[in-house]
Amino acid sequence: MAMGYRKIILWSSVGLMAGLGTGLFAGEAAPSGQTGAGNVVFKDEPQARALFDQMMEALRRPQTLSYKSECRTAAQGQETERGTYVVWLKKPNQFRVEAARPDGRQGGTLIGDGESLWIFWPGDRPRFVSTDQEYEKTRSKVYMKEATPLAKHSIAHKVGNLGVPASGLIIDPSTFHGYSDSLMPYFDGATGMGTDKVADEDCDVIEASFMKHQRSWYLWLSQKDHLPRKVKEVVRVSYEIISHETWSDIVIDGAIPADRFVWTPPEGWQQWKMPDPEELLLKPGTAAPDFELTALDGRKIKLSDFRDKIVWLYVWRAG
C-alpha cells in the first residue's frame, strides 16, 4: 500500500461502545444495583424503574398512536442540528413519518405499509456520501424500499435518510410495534428526579442510564398517560453531546385513514439503493489517502503519523 502503510485493519461494531475516554469499563464493577461512570455512581431505584416500564407499556399498548416530535442536538455549547417529525403508528406494522426542516420546508417521507418501508423526497434526494458518484443521475424521481419484518426493524434508524438536519428521534417509534431498542441490553436502571410541568401538564421526571452511565435519557413522563412530553439524551464522550426531543399533539387510539400508510411510486420513478460499502473500499495496491481524526482527548491524529506501522481502526456505534 502506498505511503508506506503496511496494513490497515478496520473493525466496525454496532451495538457496543468502548473506550470513550472516561475509562467506564475499567476497574472494579459497581455495587449491585448501581453503575459507575468515572466518579459518578448511578443508583437504580425500583419506583423510577417502574415509571420507565410504564412508559414502555404505554408505547406498546395502543392500537394507534400519533404525535409531533421536535428534535435538536447541541455539542460543546453549539446547536448542531434541528428538525421536526410528525409520526403516525398503527398495529400491527404500519407507520408514517413526515420530516420538516428548521425553515419549514418539507423533508422526506417514510411509510411502512405492513410489509415494506418506502422513503421518498419532495424534490432531490439528499447526497448521503461524498463518494456517491451516481448522484447527478439519481438525484430526482427516486425512492428507497426495503422489507420491514414485524418488531425487527427500527424507524429511528431510518429517519436520518429523510434529509432533515436533525439527529433524529431518541425514543424509537418502532417500540410501538414491539421492537426492542438496541440500547436496552445495556440498560442500567432508572432514578427519580421529582416532578415538573410541561405545557401545564404534570410529569414525573426520571433519569434512565445506559452502558454504565455513558448515556442517559432524562424523561418527563405524563402522569396522565405515562408517555413522554420531553426527552433529553446525554452522550458522555470527552465532551457531552446533548439531544432534546419534545412531544406534542399526542393522540392515542385515534382514527387514522388507511391511505396514510400506502404509497405507490409515480410513473417514471425508479428505486434507488445506498451504495454498497464494499464498492467504496480501496482496491489492493491503491494508495491510501491521508486523513486526520480527533482523538477522544482532543488531540489530532493523522494516518501519516503511523507510516510503516500496522494501523487498527476501531469504529463503534451504540443506539
pLDDT at 276: 76
The band of 138, judged by pLDDT with boundaries at 50, 70 and 90, is: very high
pTM for this predicted structure: 0.80
Q: Does residue 159 have a pLDDT over 60? A: yes
Position 218: which residue type?
Y
State pLDDT tens for residues 270-313: 999 887 777 777 888 887 888 888 877 778 989 999 888 888 87
Q: Does residue 82 have a pLDDT over 60? A: yes
pLDDT at 279: 73
Report domain extents, the chain: 34-189+242-271
Question: What is the pairing mode between strands 106-113 and 310-317?
Answer: unpaired
> 214-249 as b/e, with b when 16 or more CB fall inside 10 Å?
bbbbbbbbbeebbbbbbbbbebbeeeebbbbbbbee
Domain 34-189+242-271 has CATH 2.50.20: yes
**Mean of per-residue pLDDT scores for the chain:** 85
Q: Which residue has the higher pLDDT, 269 or 76?
A: 269
Lowest mean pLDDT among 91-95, 210-214, 284-288: 284-288
Residue with cell 482532543: 298
